[in-house]
Amino acid sequence: MTRDIEQRKRDHLILAQNEDLNFSISTGFDRWRLIHNALPEINLKEIDTRTKFLGKDLQFPLLISSMSGGVDESFNFNANLATAAETVGCALGLGSIRAALEHEKARDSFLIARKKAPTAIIMANLGIAQIMDSQSIDGVAAFCNDLDANALIIHLNPLQEAFQPEGDTEFRGALDSIRRWVRDFPLPLIVKEVGQGLSTQVVRKLQDVGIETVDIAGAGGSNWISIERERLAEDRKVLRQAAYEFANWGEPTAEILEDLDTDLCVIASGGLKRPLDLPKALALGAQMGGIAGVLLSQALSSDADKLIEQLLVWKKTLEMVMFGVGVSKIDDLIGNRSLLHKID
Ligand SMILES: Cc1cc2nc3c(=O)[nH]c(=O)nc-3n(C[C@H](O)[C@H](O)[C@H](O)COP(=O)(O)O)c2cc1C
């Protein structure tokens, strides 16, 4: 890996922890309240948060969204995330595997995840630029096989790339490439954004080319345009100034969910900050929630204990919400908007 890419990955881990670079607009979950049910007619002991994803069991519908891999720091980081995913029974998306495809020594920081999480759902990740040109399907499939990955996530991040001087900004033909990979790649493909969101129209186009699962990754949390802005050198004044205009650019996650009318499997991520955001996302129609930025600082710490505790709070909150609104099974929560009140 070139020094530049290594440095970029390190910068990302540091800058993404700075909450001042998050969106100042909200995801929109604060405009929804779950309706308390004083007569739930269920026993707390029967609450079951388990769900199925990609044909496997999860203890609760949460995805640790793609973050890192390929630099020295990612080894312990991914080991912690994988240990936590295995312990609590949630799914794990790894960061872009591009580095591992190009450099042998970058592989271990990804493969450690499968060692630490032998039974968890683990998904590899690649940017659309790699799907469009340089990577062969066979090469990616071989690494996914070594990782025993359950799926490949493709990220679409046009504006993040546009604010990187070295970014890949050729998006002509992206949808056709996805169509080709859906046909030829041996694992399920999931398409996500990185925080600007997949609009209803984009989701429809992805469905047309055969994608069955999308992660909408909307606005309200980590903002990759603002993060790239902070990485721009002083002599990039014009690009930097323009980036300020995009500090709140994107489709807020809860708004996408509210408008989305699809039979695809939808993962809701982007700005889920509080554990209560997860049941709201589910009631708005998502099958699963995804979180990245809120896990960063615990994932960077020396062991996985605090991370496990943090994830267990998300699970416990979900259980308590289900009791509080009066549903015992996750399927009775998903898409059940009668459990929500919109605050005007
Ligand atoms: C440090 C860091 C690195 C990331 N790297 C990737 C990546 O390699 N591939 C990807 O698809 N998304 C990547 N993301 C984006 C997240 O998966 C997620 O879509 C985004 O941060 C929005 O979610 P959040 O508001 O919960 O952070 C990264 C996020 C963080 C915090």
**Tens of pLDDT along 144-191?**
999 999 999 999 999 999 999 889 999 999 999 999 999 999 999 999
Ligand 1 atom at minimal distance to the Cα of residue 22: 25
Cβ(291) – ligand 1 distance below 6 Å: yes
Percent of the residues in the chain that have a pLDDT greater than 70, as a whole number: 99
Ligand 1 pocket residue status of 218, Cβ below 6 Å: no
pTM, two decimals, is 0.97
Q: Which residue has the higher pLDDT, 134 or 47?
A: 47
Beta bridge partners of 153: 125, 190
Of the listed ranges 66-70, 116-120, 274-278, 320-324, the least confidently predicted one is 66-70
When pLDDT is averaged across residues 135-145 and rounded to a whole number, the result is: 93
Name the nearest CA neighbour of 35 among 300, 339, 344.
339
Percent of the chain with pLDDT over 90: 91
Output the residue whose Cα is nearest ligand 1's atom 23. 270
Give the pLDDT of residue 275.
98
Q: Is the beta carbon of 66 within 6 A of some atom in ligand 1? A: yes
305 to 84, 198, 292, 299, 311: CA distances (angstroms) = 8, 33, 17, 10, 10
CATH class (in words) of the domain with range 3-29+56-307? alpha beta
Looking at residue 308, what is its pLDDT?
98
pLDDT above 90 (res 49): yes
244 pLDDT band, cuts 50/70/90, is very high
Joined together, the tokens standing for residue 67 give 């973050």
Whether residue 198 is predicted with pLDDT greater than 90 in this model: the reply is yes
298-333 pLDDT per residue, tens:
999 989 999 999 999 999 999 999 999 999 999 999
Per-residue pLDDT at 100 exceeds 70: yes
Which atom of ligand 1 lies closest to the CA of 294?
26
Please work out whether the CB of residue 227 comes within 6 Å of at least one atom of ligand 1: no
pLDDT at position 27, please? Answer: 97
Please report the atom of ligand 1 found closest to the CA of residue 65: 17
Residue 157 in contact with ligand 1 by CB distance below 6 A = no
pLDDT recorded at residue 70: 86
1 pLDDT band, cuts 50/70/90, is low
Ligand 1 site, residue 268, Cβ cutoff 6 A: no
Q: Is the pLDDT of residue 4 over 80?
A: no
Pocket lining: 195 vs ligand 1, CB cutoff 6 Å: yes
Give nearest CA residue, ligand 1 atom 30.
67
> Per-residue pLDDT averaged across 189-216, rounded?
98
Indicate which atom in ligand 1 lies nearest the CA of residue 296.
Answer: 31
pLDDT at 272 exceeding the cut of 90:
yes
Please, which pLDDT band fits residue 234 given cuts at 50, 70 and 90? confident
Over 70: is that where the pLDDT of 134 sits?
no
Cβ–Cβ under 8 Å, residues 209 and 175: yes
In this predicted structure, what is the pLDDT of residue 332?
A: 98
Q: How far apart are CA 229 and CA 248, in angstroms?
A: 13
Substitution candidate for ligand 1 out of 8, 15, 27, 67 with most atoms within 8 A of CB: 67
pLDDT reported for residue 135: 67
- Residue with the smallest CA separation from ligand 1 atom 31 is 293
> Going by CA atoms, what residue is nearest to atom 19 of ligand 1?
194
* Residue 310 confidence (pLDDT): 98
Task: Indicate whether 105 pLDDT > 80.
Answer: yes
Question: Looking at the predicted structure, is the pLDDT value of residue 204 above 90?
Answer: yes
